[in-house]
Structure 1
């Protein structure tokens, strides 16, 4: 089971992971643009987007952990 971690993951988990990675990537790009153009408001907004991505990542970890625990109980 551990060797096939991604193959055995549910679609919901994969969606959470890709959404989190996407938000973090968009936030980093926004941060780079904001800092090169010296736009303070956009820089703060980019931190919120990165934070949302990190929260989604943690939610994905919790969701996957619950799936694994349910699998052990069967």
Structure 2
């Protein structure tokens, strides 16, 4: 059961994970565009977008940790 977490993960966890990946990818694209055009404003603003993705990633880790703890508690009280 714990080995296939993605199959049983909540919709909120999946949304946070995909949001984090999207923000990080968008930040990387913005960074490349900023570097190629020499636009420092775009380059530095891309760091904020990447940072937002990392914050969402950390939130996903917290959500997953709480879900696993609930599952472990549920199974340990049954036995």
User: Could you say whether these structures have the same fold, taking a TM-score greater than 0.5 normalized by the shorter chain as the test?
Assistant: yes
**Runs of 4 or more above 3 Å deviation:** none
Name structure 1 gaps, 5 residues minimum: none
Aligned length: 74
Q: Would you say 1:27 and 2:15 are equivalent positions?
A: no
Normalising by structure 1, what TM-score? 0.96
How much is the aligned-residue C-alpha RMSD, in angstroms?
A: 0.6
How far residue 4 of structure 1 moved from its aligned partner, in angstroms, is: 1.1
SS at match of 2:6: coil
More helix by share: 2
SS at match of 2:7: coil
Normalising by structure 2, what TM-score? 0.91
Cα deviation code 1:23-72 (max 9, x no counterpart): 00000000000000000011010000000000100100011100110111
Query: Within 1, Cα distance between the matches of 2:43 and 2:64?
Result: 32
Query: Within 2, Cα distance between the matches of 1:6 and 1:33?
Result: 33
